[in-house]
Amino acid sequence: ESGRIVVKGGEIIEKEDIQASRGTTFLVEDLFYNTPVRRTFLGSETSECSRILDIVLKTAISHPEIRFDYKVGDRTVFTGVPGELRSRIAEAIGSKVAKGLLPVDYTEAVVHVTGYISPTTETNGKRNHQFLFMRNRPIENKMVSKAVSQAYEPYGAQCKPVTVLFLDMPDMEFDINVHPAKREVRFANGNLVFLVVTHAIRDTFTKDLEAHSPIIDLSDEFMGESKIGRASCRERV
């Protein structure tokens, strides 16, 4: 079943069943018609659209299985096609960046960290390209941000990596209700979360290094060939 609802000033003035494709569409008009003073506190159209885009991108990244279309007037600003996380990151911040990201999957104590991060050789991202989620909810946490910076610190003081990290832990280990908009989260053991995020990033670096390290054959056959080669050299001398 599909429906159409029109709300004005907090009151529902129209409600009807209609035929429509699956999904949800929001059309916002005359947002400050009854609170004109608030309009004076708005920034420019560009800055406000940028803030909206930030929210859309965070929501879209946390739900790559859902299609998102963000339009301003007749202009399409962002389109997210249903798919997996890496492809959604590519849509949000660029395919070239997304292609080089390293997968994170690390568990320590009661904290599980997953997502994608920049390799140590590509840390020229932007501050707004660091995304943090708690069970798919976009959040902010200064301690986690500091943990990310510390993990990258040995690779350059001015590192600005791309990070898309998802945290998960038991309910009693965090509180999401410390901020009116639920943007911030408080942890029961912040030091543990700090360490686990740091370890998760460095563990990812280690795995990437091991995957790309050259393999040296130290088998008997190889060593035997080396001995023969050295003997031949001595004979020639």
Which tokens belong to 78?
């962002």
Q: For residue 160, how many other CB atoms are within 10 A of its CB?
A: 17
Tell me the pLDDT tens digit for each residue of 158-211.
Answer: 668 999 999 999 999 998 877 676 678 889 999 999 999 999 999 999 999 888
Specify the pLDDT at position 231: 44
CA distance 97 to 207: 19
List the beta bridge partners of residue 117: 102, 163
pTM of the model: 0.78
What is the average per-residue pLDDT within 98-122?
94
Q: Which helix (H) or strand (E) holds 168?
A: strand 163-168
CB–CB of 104/114 below 8 Å?
Answer: yes
What is the 3-state secondary structure of 44-88? Answer: CHHHHHHHHHHHHHHHHHHCCCCCEEEEECCEEEEEECCCCHHHH
Q: How far is CA 76 from CA 65, 79, 84, 137, 169, in A?
A: 20, 7, 22, 25, 37
Tell me the pLDDT tens digit for each residue of 64-105.
Answer: 999 999 988 889 999 999 999 999 999 999 999 999 999 999
